[in-house]
């Protein structure tokens, strides 16, 4: 099935640094979702975006729904060790009948 192109695949950063990751697609999406998954656990929803151009924050996290509806970005400011995990983007089209299309994930490691 189709996958979103998520980059980077992994990031190794120092505590306090800012982080940026993005997802792109050749298809248009009506909804973009960002999840975080910790080892052995299910993904937890971080931010949901429903409108092209929308910019939404959740604490130190900010995500944007690209104006072309084919991409989305997630930024984490002032990273802390508990930000460690895998971040997934996911998209919903208007005709996907609830079937999420996922990115491959970005593995984030934060060094104290």
Partner 1 sequence: DGGITQSPKYLFRKEGQNVTLSCEQNLNHDAMYWYRQDPGQGLRLIYYSQIVNDFQKGDIAEGYSVSREKKESFPLTVTSAQKNPTAFYLCASSLARTDTQYFGPGTRLTVL
Nearer to partner 1 (CB atom), residue 90 or residue 110 = 90
3-state DSSP call for residue 110? strand
Q: Among 33-41, 56-64, 65-73, 76-84, which window interacts with partner 1 (CB under 8 A)?
A: 33-41
Nearer to partner 1 (CB atom), residue 14 or residue 41 = 41
Nearer to partner 1 (CB atom), residue 6 or residue 79 = 6
Of 1, 14, 26, 112, the residue at the interface with partner 1 (CB under 8 A) is: 1
Q: Which residues contact 82 (CB under 8 A, 6 or more apart)?
A: none
CA atoms within 13 A on the CB side of 74: 32
Confirm or reject binding of residue 28 to partner 1 (CB under 8 A).
no
CB atoms within 10 A of CB 43: 18
d(CA 18, CA 16): 7
Q: Could you check whether the bond before residue 111 is cis, i.e. omega within 30 degrees of 0?
A: no
> Which residues form the interface with partner 1 (CB under 8 A)?
1, 3, 30-31, 33, 35, 40-45, 48, 88, 90, 92, 94, 96-100, 102-105
């Amino acid at each position: 099935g189709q996958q979103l192109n998520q980059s980077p695949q992994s990031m190794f950063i120092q505590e306090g640094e800012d982080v940026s990751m993005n997802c792109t697609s050749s298809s248009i999406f009506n909804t973009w979702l960002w999840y975080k998954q910790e080892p052995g656990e299910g993904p937890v929803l971080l931010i949901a975006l429903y409108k092209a151009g929308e910019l939404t924050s959740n604490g130190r996290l900010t995500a944007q729904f690209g104006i072309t509806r084919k991409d989305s970005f997630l930024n984490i400011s002032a990273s802390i060790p508990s930000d460690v995990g895998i971040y997934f983007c996911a998209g919903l089209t208007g005709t996907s009948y609830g079937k999420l299309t996922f990115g491959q994930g970005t593995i984030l490691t934060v060094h104290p």
